[in-house]
C-alpha cells in the first residue's frame, strides 16, 4: 500500500481552501449591485454655424422708361421683349412691352374680380397667378388667348420656372415646385438665412441655377439655392433713383435676358426700369 504523507495532505487542503476562497470572492464581486454613479455622458457638439451670407451691390448699366401706372407683380424677358403682369382689382393685366420705350404693344385685361400676380413663360405658354382668387391663368404666348386655367389653395405671389417645373411663392417662407402640365405640387422648400425663415417672398426669377426673390417691403433680393432653400447671397438694391416713390411702391420685378446675361429690375408704379450688374460683396453691408 502506498503511503500518503500527512504534510502532503495538509498542503493540498490548504491549496483547495485558497482556491475556494478566491472563487467566492469572484462570485461576490460579480453579484455586487451596480454602482449608483451614472455612466459617463457623451455630449453632441452644437451644429456648425452657417457661413456669413455675402451681400452684393449693383451698378446701373441702363435706364428705361416704365409705366408708372403699372402695379408690377411679375416681369419676364423673352425674345427681346418684356412681359409684365400688373395687379389691383380692376387694373390687373398681362402686357407685352417694348424695352427701349416702355410702350405697351399688347395687353390683356383681367376681369375686375381678379388681382393678378406673378407670371412666367414656359414653352409657348404664359402662366399668370392671382393673389387670393386661387386661379392660375394659362395663355398662348403669341396672342394672349387663354388656353386653360388651374386652381390652387392659398395665395399666389411670385412665379418662375427652371425649365422643368413652375416655381411659386405665396408670401411665406415656402417655395413650391409644380408640374407645368397639371399644376400639381411636386415638392417644397423652406427658405432660410442663418437658420431663420425668410418670409414675404414675392416676385421670383430663375437666374443661372438660383431662385432670385424680391422680399416684400424691402430693397433686398434673396438668391436662393433651389435644392436646400438656403439663401446663398443678398443683393442690396437700396438707392435706386426712383422719383416720387410711395410707401407701397416697392421693388417688385426681376427679369433675366438669358441670351445676353442681362438683369432688369423695376417696382410697383415706378417710372423707370433698370438694367443692373451685380458687383462684389460688401462685407460691411447690412442684412435684412
133 domain residue, yes or no? yes
Write down the pLDDT at residue 253: 97
Distance CA 283, CA 221 (A): 16
Q: Are 169 and 177 in contact (CB under 8 A)?
A: no
27 domain residue, yes or no? no
Least confident of 46-50, 89-93, 151-155, 193-197: 46-50
254 domain residue, yes or no? yes
CATH code, 159: 2.130.10.10
Q: Which residue has the cell 412691352?
A: 97
- 3 pLDDT higher than 50: no
Write down the pLDDT at residue 51: 76
End-to-end CA distance of the chain: give it in Å, rounded: 107
114 domain residue, yes or no? yes
200 domain residue, yes or no? yes
Mean pLDDT over residues 11-32, rounded?
40
Q: Is 265 exposed, middle or buried (0-12, 13-18, 19+ CB in 10 A)?
A: buried
Write down the pLDDT at residue 79: 97
258 domain residue, yes or no? yes
Report residue 140's pLDDT band, with 50, 70 and 90 as the boundaries.
very high
20 domain residue, yes or no? no
Per residue in 231-275, pLDDT (tens digit) is 999 999 999 999 989 889 999 999 999 999 999 999 999 999 999
Distances in whole angstroms, Cα of residue 183 to Cα of each of 161, 178, 192, 256, 266: 12, 5, 25, 23, 28
Give percent above pLDDT 90 in the chain.
77
Tell me how many domains the chain contains.
Answer: 1
- 146 pLDDT higher than 50: yes
6 domain residue, yes or no? no
Domain hosting residue 139, numbered range: 55-279
Amino acid at each position: 500500500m502506498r503511503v500518503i504523507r500527512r504534510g502532503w495532505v495538509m498542503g493540498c487542503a490548504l491549496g483547495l481552501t485558497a482556491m475556494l476562497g478566491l472563487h467566492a470572492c469572484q462570485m461576490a464581486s460579480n453579484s455586487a449591485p451596480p454602482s449608483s454613479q451614472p455612466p459617463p455622458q457623451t455630449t453632441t457638439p452644437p451644429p456648425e454655424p452657417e457661413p456669413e451670407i455675402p451681400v452684393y451691390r449693383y451698378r446701373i448699366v441702363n435706364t428705361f422708361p416704365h409705366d408708372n401706372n403699372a402695379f408690377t407683380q411679375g416681369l419676364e424677358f423673352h425674345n427681346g421683349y418684356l412681359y409684365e403682369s400688373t395687379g389691383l382689382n380692376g387694373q390687373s393685366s398681362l402686357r407685352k412691352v417694348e424695352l427701349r420705350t416702355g410702350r405697351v404693344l399688347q395687353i390683356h385685361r383681367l376681369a375686375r374680380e381678379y388681382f393678378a400676380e406673378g407670371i412666367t413663360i414656359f414653352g409657348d405658354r404664359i402662366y399668370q397667378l392671382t393673389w387670393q382668387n386661387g386661379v392660375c391663368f394659362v395663355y398662348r404666348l403669341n396672342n394672349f388667348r387663354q388656353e386653360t386655367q388651374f386652381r390652387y389653395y392659398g395665395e399666389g405671389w411670385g412665379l418662375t420656372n427652371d425649365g422643368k417645373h413652375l416655381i411659386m411663392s405665396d408670401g411665406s417662407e415656402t417655395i413650391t415646385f409644380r408640374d407645368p402640365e397639371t399644376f400639381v405640387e411636386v415638392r417644397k422648400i423652406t427658405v432660410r438665412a442663418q437658420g431663420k425663415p425668410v418670409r414675404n417672398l414675392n416676385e421670383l426669377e430663375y437666374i443661372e441655377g438660383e431662385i432670385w426673390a424680391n422680399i416684400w417691403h424691402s430693397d433686398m433680393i434673396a438668391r436662393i439655392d433651389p435644392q436646400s432653400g438656403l439663401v446663398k447671397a443678398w443683393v442690396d438694391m437700396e438707392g435706386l433713383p426712383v422719383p416720387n416713390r410711395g410707401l407701397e411702391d416697392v421693388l417688385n420685378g426681376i427679369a433675366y435676358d438669358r441670351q445676353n446675361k442681362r438683369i432688369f429690375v423695376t417696382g410697383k408704379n415706378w417710372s423707370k426700369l433698370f438694367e443692373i450688374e451685380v458687383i462684389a460683396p460688401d462685407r460691411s453691408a447690412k442684412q435684412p
